[in-house]
Amino acid sequence: MKQALHIFAKDALHLWPEILVSLVITGLFSCTYRYTWMADLAPGIPKLQYMQKLAEIVAGFVPLSWWILITRVVHAESLVGDRQWWITRPYEWSQLLGAKLLFLAAFVLLPFFAAQCVLLEEAGFRWFEYLPGLGLNLVLVFGILVGPLLALAAVTSGFGKMTLTLLGALVVVILIGVLGAWKDTGGMASYGDDAGGAASFLLVLVCCGAAIVVQYARRMSWMSRLLLFSVLAPFAAAVSLDSLPKLIAMAYPRTKGSVLVVFDPQGGHSPATDADNGRVGVSVPLVMSGVVDGTAVRVDGVRATFESQDGRTWTSPWLPIYGPMHLPESSKAGLPLQVDRKFFDHARSKPVNVYLKLAVTTLKAGVDRRVVLTGQDFSVPGVGICSWNPTTQTMFDTTEVTCLSPMREPDFTFVSVQLNESSCTDDDARDEVPGAGTVGGAMGELSPAPAEFGITSVWSRSVWLNDFGTDVERSGRILHPPPLLCPGTPVHFTRYTLMNRSEVDVTLPQFQLPEFERFTILRKR
């Protein structure tokens, strides 16, 4: 330990300009980042928007300053090459590595921890109540950012080579992403991947850790590089082997007794629209039944096979669905599909058979918290500190509730409310009307972890509570001002937890593909 402290002191003395710059950037980050959520809470204020942009730029500089600091401190005792003066001195490799880790803890992680605490306090949270989350985020930041940078610096001999290697690694990551996009495997990747995410994190941690230890202990640069870059192999293999369908099949097993989904002939026929990758977007009206009380169903993704009259077929990749939650009382929804443009043109004149595979998540309703809006901030357990800004709906026609959550996305919560028809009166108390329609939206994640990887410790999430309903004519033009959310209106925050995931198969025989039409929203006040 004595040697580690000695090396640490040398590095701190030598790299004080870099340390100072990094500390200043981290300090600026902690001072400015609050503007990102302040701008969310009060949109339309130019100064806040300007400060939000500035805060985002400063936040981008934080990892950049770490990159420079990590590279400089590791290369102070470069591990690559055979001319470094220190390699023939009695350095203990464990002490040297310890010194570097101590340096990173002191000048990267500790300032970052302090900045996280400041942000929590600024958002109205007591930082010491979130120590497990703060600790976990430090582990995640180390594993995802600091560790890989440390490993890259350990297997390179200079700043230029480190930069080139980093750029090379980024190119490979981008190529894997492009390959994934080309194979349409990326969209659904974020669903059902809690275990996958943890496995990926562990893989990165193990590969980087092994590369660092091997390099410090033996200075076997090629072996270390091999270990480090082997981290990309499973991702590349997963993409190139087109393994996403298998992963989705594992995450969403086919089970009996789940919800029933059928075509809704009364659901209207939306026109087809342009979509990415030379495809046409088609909306299929569905009715979802069998959603039992106390539960909700969310369609996470869909894969559709279209079969034309002449036997020609086309199967879409798994596509994510960002649709509404299906509650027992609200079971109709249009399911957006994509179909190949050539197939669409070929098969449009006659009905086609459509075979759908839906990736469905069933959620169990938990605690329901009723909050009466007053215009003041209010706290919702499991979510955080929420607020509602009445001015936004008069200025922008958007009715939204924004919540700040500590350390992670809020618990998965469905926010629902009964909107007022046209204008708000001075009435403070507004009763809920039984049987009247509610609007709602979901926020948050089903992950139970106390923290998510992020440079911020405060997550800002909004739920839009707009209901344009039938006031949108076919062209998308809004005919009347939408209903309003008024002070005194009770809002429900219902927490949902994961019950199960399953695949639901739906067959739509003789489905007539709609006419193609460009669809744009025009607003009229």
Partner 1 sequence: MSTTMSAESSAAVSGAVIRTVIQTQGLSKRFGKTDALTGVGIEVPAGAIYALVGANGAGKTTLIKLLMNILEPSAGSAWVLGIDARRLRGKGLARIGYVSENQEFPEWMTVEGMLEYLRPFYPTWDRALEAQLMRQFDLPAGRKLKQLSRGQRMKAAMASALAFRPQLLVLDEPFAGLDPLVRDELMEGLLDRAPETTIFLSSHDLAEIESFSSHVGFLQQGRLLFSEEMGVLSERFREVTVILESLGAGSGLAGENLSPSWLQYEATDSMVRFVESACRGAETRAELESKFPGARTIEMEPMPLRAIFLAIAKEKRGKPTSQHQGAVRLAADGDSLRPGSGAPGEGSGI
- Cα–Cα separations (whole angstroms), residue 469 to 92, 437, 476: 70, 11, 11
Q: How far is the CB of 1 from partner 1 (least distance, A)?
A: 12
One-letter amino acid of 108: V
Q: How far is the CB of 228 from partner 1 (least distance, A)?
A: 20
One-letter amino acid of 165: T
Instruction: Identify which of residues 16 and 182 has a Cβ nearer to partner 1 in the complex.
Output: 16
Residues that bind partner 1 (CB under 8 A): 2-3, 6, 10, 14, 76, 81-85, 87-93
Q: How far is the CB of 100 from partner 1 (least distance, A)?
A: 15
Query: Nearest 5°: CA angle at 505, between 301 and 274?
Result: 45
How far, rounded to the nearest angstrom, does the alpha carbon of residue 158 sit from its chain's CA centroid?
35
Q: How far is the CB of 166 from partner 1 (least distance, A)?
A: 23
Tokens of 115: 């900045």
Q: How far is the CB of 34 from partner 1 (least distance, A)?
A: 38
If we measure between CA atoms, which residue out of 309, 430, 446 comes closest to residue 372?
430
- C-alpha–C-alpha distance, residues 148 and 390, integer Å: 45
The secondary structure element, H or E, covering residue 177 is helix 159-182
Q: How far is the CB of 85 from partner 1 (least distance, A)?
A: 5
Instruction: Identify which of residues 2 and 256 has a Cβ nearer to partner 1 in the complex.
Output: 2
What SS3 class is residue 378? strand
Contact 503, 378 (CB under 8 A): no
Q: How far is the CB of 230 from partner 1 (least distance, A)?
A: 22
Instruction: Identify which of residues 89 and 523 has a Cβ nearer to partner 1 in the complex.
Output: 89
If we measure between CA atoms, which residue out of 279, 288, 303, 400 comes closest to residue 334?
288
Q: How far is the CB of 12 from partner 1 (least distance, A)?
A: 13
Q: How far is the CB of 88 from partner 1 (least distance, A)?
A: 4
Q: How far is the CB of 220 from partner 1 (least distance, A)?
A: 8
Tokens of 374: 């007053």
Task: Give Cβ neighbours of residue 430 (< 8 Å, ≥ 6 apart).
Answer: 420, 486, 488, 489, 490
Instruction: Identify which of residues 50 and 86 has a Cβ nearer to partner 1 in the complex.
Output: 86
- C-alpha–C-alpha distance, residues 150 and 465, integer Å: 45
In sequence order, the β-bridge partners of residue 289 are 260
Q: How far is the CB of 251 from partner 1 (least distance, A)?
A: 47
Q: How far is the CB of 199 from partner 1 (least distance, A)?
A: 35
Tokens of 361: 């998540």
Long-range contacts at 62-65 (CB < 8 A, ≥ 24 apart)? 62/25, 62/26, 62/29, 62/112, 62/455, 63/145, 63/455, 64/25, 65/18, 65/21, 65/22, 65/25, 65/26
Q: How far is the CB of 74 from partner 1 (least distance, A)?
A: 14
- C-alpha–C-alpha distance, residues 32 and 449, integer Å: 27
In this structure, the number of other CB atoms found within 10 A of the CB of residue 455 comes to 17
One-letter amino acid of 94: S
Instruction: Identify which of residues 216 and 343 has a Cβ nearer to partner 1 in the complex.
Output: 216
Tokens of 390: 């009445």
Contact 10, 96 (CB under 8 A): no
- Cα–Cα separations (whole angstroms), residue 124 to 47, 52, 199, 513: 22, 19, 34, 52
For the sheet containing 384-388, what is the strand order?
A: 378-380, 384-388, 400-406, 458-464
Q: What is the dihedral of CA 337, 342, 347, 349, to 10 degrees?
A: 100
Instruction: Identify which of residues 68 and 123 has a Cβ nearer to partner 1 in the complex.
Output: 68
Tokens of 228: 């480090």
Contact 32, 51 (CB under 8 A): yes
Query: Nearest 5°: CA angle at 116, between 112 and 119?
Result: 135
Contact 488, 373 (CB under 8 A): yes
Instruction: Identify which of residues 94 and 353 has a Cβ nearer to partner 1 in the complex.
Output: 94
If we measure between CA atoms, which residue out of 252, 235, 234, 144 comes closest to residue 191?
252
Q: How far is the CB of 312 from partner 1 (least distance, A)?
A: 57
Instruction: Identify which of residues 219 and 501 has a Cβ nearer to partner 1 in the complex.
Output: 219
